[in-house]
Structure 1
Amino acid sequence: MAIVRYRPWSEMNSLQRQFNQMFNEVLTPTTFTEFGNFSKIPAAELVENKDYLVLKLEVPGMQAEDLNIEATAKSISVSGERKSEANEGSKTVSEFRYGSFQRVIPLPVRIQNTEVKAQYHNGILHLTLPKAEVEKNKVVKVNLVTETAV
């Protein structure tokens, strides 16, 4: 009969190695493309001022004409496509994000969608969104009709 040394922690060490390997694979930037559109959604920042909202989106490596911006009174939609500059058939390693994207951002207040201003500079899209005029709280006299007894 062979004598085998009992190692109570060997299975725990194996499990720890597997967890480390799993997290290293998930956190490697090149594997974010496996999550699909998650990596293609541009980051956004929304700031509210007294008279307007300022919306900034990160869309690096694009031209202004590659962006499509649509505004409604309650949301902004930004879409576009970043095309790869690599030649067909050439082998490259790239962690850049290519392809199309779309981001719809609901707004906290109504805006004047016909007055939206947009600028694109250094990979950041700046949108100035004027707030809609809020109707003043008017006091209206309501006529009360009384029933007459028959």
Structure 2
Amino acid sequence: MTLVRWNPWKEIDTLQHQINSLFEDTRLPSTLFDKGLSKVPAAEIQETEDAIHLKIELPGIEAKDLDVQVTENAVYVSGERKSETKTEEKGVTRSEFHYGKFQRIIPLSARIQNTNVTADYKDGILNLTLPKTEQEKNKVVKVNLKQPAS
């Protein structure tokens, strides 16, 4: 029988590496039927009293390749970054670009007037201004505080 020295730190290091790779990878399955993975665009949301301002990072994608749909409760963005084919006779090309189709559904924290949305797309950044409905603007709830009996 052979004795093997067990090193618990090696297992912990392997586990830490696997956890880190989960959080670094922002790819999600594009659909249940598609086995491929797609890159999810980064988003930034700022909410004011009157509107929700949504900024989505879409570098290298032309406006004609984007599909943006807005409901009262969510924003749906999909598109495709098409690959540029290059032919080289010598050398090796390494690319970290993500090509292909992507989609993202961003749920909203308040109901909006989806018929009055304004959009601006410049330098790979999509800015959407989503005005809130009148009900959401005036939504104030009075909280009654009861004092305990002494």
Conservation of the 8 A alpha-carbon contact between 1:81 and 1:98? yes
Q: Aligned to 2:78, what secondary structure does the other structure show?
A: strand
In structure 1, distance between residues paired with 2:75 and 2:121: 16
Q: Deviations over 1:99-142 (max 9, x none)?
A: 111111111111110111111122211100011121879xxxxx
Aligned-partner SS, 1:113 = coil
Say if 2:44 and 2:56, in contact at 8 Å, map to a contact too.
yes
Runs of 4+ aligned structure 1 residues displaced above 4 Å come to 31-39, 88-91
Q: C-alpha distance in 2, partners of 1:33/1:47?
A: 22
- Identify, as 1 or 2, the structure richer in helix: 1
Task: Give, in whole Å, the separation in 1 of the partners of 2:68 and 2:87.
Answer: 30
Give the superposition deviation at 1:53: 0.7
TM-score w.r.t. length of structure 1: 0.66
- Share of identical aligned residues, percent? 45
1:43, CA displacement in angstroms?
Answer: 1.2
Deviation at 1:88, TM superposition (A): 7.0
**Residues 116 and 133 (structure 1), Cα distance of their counterparts in 2 relative to 1, 3 Å cut:** same
> How is 1:13-32 mapped onto 2 (pairs within 5 angstroms)?
16=10, 19=13, 23=17, 27=21, 32=25
Question: Which residue number in structure 2 is paired with residue 45 of structure 1?
Answer: 44
Are the counterparts in 1 of residues 28 and 39 from structure 2 also a CA contact under 8 Å?
no
**By how many angstroms is 1:16 displaced?**
2.1
Within 2, Cα distance between the matches of 1:17 and 1:125? Answer: 44
**1:92, CA displacement in angstroms?**
3.1
Instruction: State the Cα deviation string for residues 35-82 of structure 1 (Å, max 9, x = none).
Output: 755761111111111111100111111111111000111111000000
How many correspondences in the alignment? 126
- Please say which structure displays the higher CA radius of gyration: 1
Q: TM-score, normalised by structure 2?
A: 0.66
Between Structure 1 and Structure 2, the one with more strand by share is: 2
Gaps of 5+ in 1: 1-5, 138-150
What is the match of residue 12 of structure 1? 7
- 1:89-128 maps to which residues of 2 (within 5 A)? 92-128=93-129
